[in-house]
Each structure stands twice: as C-alpha cells, then as structure tokens.
Amino acid sequence: MTGWGDWTTWSTILKSRYLTIRRYVIKTYCFEPFGSAVRRSKNPSRYHQYQKLRSNSSPSLSPPLSPSINQQFLPDIMTFATIPFEILIEICDYLHPSDLYNLTMVCKRYRSLLWDKTSTTTQLIWKSSRKNFINNLNVDPPGKMCEQEFIWLMLLLNKCMFCNQTDKFELTMHWEFKMYCCFKCLNERTICKLTLLQKYNFPEELLACLPQLQKNPNPRDPPLYLIRDVENLFKQYNYEKDKKNWVKERQDQIIKLNIENEQYNTLHDQVRYDHTERLERLLRKLHDFYSNNRT
C-alpha cells in the first residue's frame, strides 16, 4: 500500500470516520429494503448536518486521533465516501451484518455495492459476515433468496413488515410466507381452509399445492393460506393443460418445502431470541392455546 501509510494507522482513521457517519446516518435515514423505500428525516437541518459530516467529520464526535496522525494523514486521505471498492471490500470483512446494513445508508455508492442481489462479490461479503458474526446461522439461504434478504428476515428486521408494531412478543416469523409480522397483519393477508372450500368453492386437491401455516398448536384448527399465493396458484392451474401431472408435481414440491420451512422457522427463533425469550414465547403460546380451548 505505497503512499497510503501504515495499514494500522489508516484503518484507525477509517474506523473513526465510519463510526461518526454511522451515528448520524442512523438518526437521519431509515432504509427498509424489502418492500419499503428510503425515508429521510423531516428535519432538513439534521440532513444538512449529516451531509456536512460526510465531507468533514467533527473531531469531537470521532474517536480521538493523535495530532501526529491527523497532521500526517488527514490532509491527503481520501474521504470515506470515495474509498476504492477493493479496500472497502476488505474493510467489510470485519463488519457485522448490522454494520453492513448501516453502511448502505451512507451513500448511493455503498448501497449499489452492498445491496446488489446478483453480484457474487456482494453475496460473498454478506455470507462471510453472517458466518463470522451470527451464531447458529451457518445455513445458506433457501432457493433463490439472496444473502441480504436472508439476514434481514432472520435478524435485522425488528418490526412488523406491514405496520409499526415493535413488541417482539406480538411479532412472529412465518417462514412459510417469508413474513415477520403481527397477528393483525397476518390475518389481513391470509385465508383459512374452511373459507376457501365453503365460500369460494376452491378445488380441494389444490390445497396441497399451497404453502400452509398452522397458526395454532391445535392441529384441528384449519390452516391458513396466503391470499396472494391462492390467487397466483389458481391462475397457473387454469393455464396448465396437463393439470393432473402439474398438480402431482406441485404437491411433491410442497411436501419438501414444508419440511424446509419448519427448519427455517426453528433456525430463526434460535438466532433472534435467547433461551429466556424462547421459553417465554412458548409459555405464551400454551396460555393462548388453553385460553382458546376452554369449554
């Protein structure tokens, strides 16, 4: 690294700038990547303050650097937003997934690198961070899911995907639908088996072609289906010519998918909740079960 100085000193400066930007960007931006948009702060002064910090971080807000380091390196050092991608990728190897996520909010340049769902380099960055920093999450994402969405659903998402509910005991991961949401929002987007059969005359053989959610521990309760899945399946079914073979293939796929969904639901709880939280959630489920089945 000729011309850049000692790596230890250089990385110390980078870290100080990153921490400063991170403090302010978290307050200024809320980047919700899957289904939501970037939202800036309603306070313009805070946004301008953040922009100013990006180009000239305040020493009082950064970890202190010695005068010799400041004098020797800061006049010639590149700004944090213009670090070459090769060096940025090396830095990312030492960052937790939550830090990678925060880094996407610094500027569009970083977001284009770190939120690319098809780039092999980007996927390796997130995969390495996931395996290095998140216990129990050594399993790869299912199917065509990218690393960012996988980590987002498993760990980073901390509120209902559809409303502002943040009480973790009101929120549940339903991997069958790739949804982390509250009970109210779940009910608004699902339909039960009895309603499909009795009200809409839905072909019963097609039910086994859909991912289903057993909402309550009682197996006698009818399962739930995502309304969007029902609509898409029915369209596809009407389009197929060899319906019998298509249904058989689809049912075989769902059998494998149900096993996979159960594994990822269990994995999610192990990653997101500690032992005490898992126990409390289990006790709440039992309480709800007996409360709903009293005679």
- Domain check: are 132 and 178 in the same one? no
Residue 196 belongs to domain spanning: 171-292
Domain finish residue from 118, 137, 156: 137
Per the CB < 8 A criterion, the answer to whether 31 and 156 are in contact is: no
Looking at the structure, tell me whether residues 119 and 187 fall in a common domain: no
Residue 146: its H or E element: none
* 115 shares its domain with 11: yes
Structure tokens, 204: 């019963």
Predicted model pTM: 0.71
The full DSSP string for 92-137 is: HTTS-HHHHHHHTTT-HHHHHHHT-SS-HHHHHHHHHHHHHH-TT-
Tell me the CA end-to-end span of the chain in Å, nearest whole number: 75
Residue 120 belongs to some domain of the structure: yes
Number of folded domains that form the chain: 2
Q: d(Cα 163, Cα 26) in Å, to the nearest integer?
A: 20
What is the pLDDT at residue 61? 35
Do residue 25 and residue 127 come from a single domain? yes
In a domain, residue 149? The reply is no
Q: Is residue 281 part of a domain?
A: yes
**154: in domain:** no
Quote the CA–CA distance of 108 and 228 in Å, as a whole number. Answer: 32
Q: Is the same domain home to 223 and 109? A: no
Residue at 189 is within a domain: yes
Evaluate whether residue 1 is within a structural domain.
no
295 residues of the chain, pLDDT tens digit each: 444 455 555 556 555 655 555 554 444 445 566 654 333 334 444 444 444 444 443 333 333 344 444 444 444 445 666 788 888 888 898 999 999 999 888 888 889 889 999 999 999 999 999 999 998 898 999 988 999 999 999 999 999 999 989 998 899 999 999 999 999 999 999 999 999 998 888 888 899 999 999 766 566 678 899 999 999 998 999 888 899 999 999 999 999 999 999 999 999 999 998 888 878 877 877 776 666 666 4
Pair (25, 131) in one structural domain: yes
Residues 180 and 276 in one domain: yes
**Residue 157 within any structural domain of the chain:** no
Indicate whether 16 belongs to any domain: yes
Same domain? 13 vs 91: yes
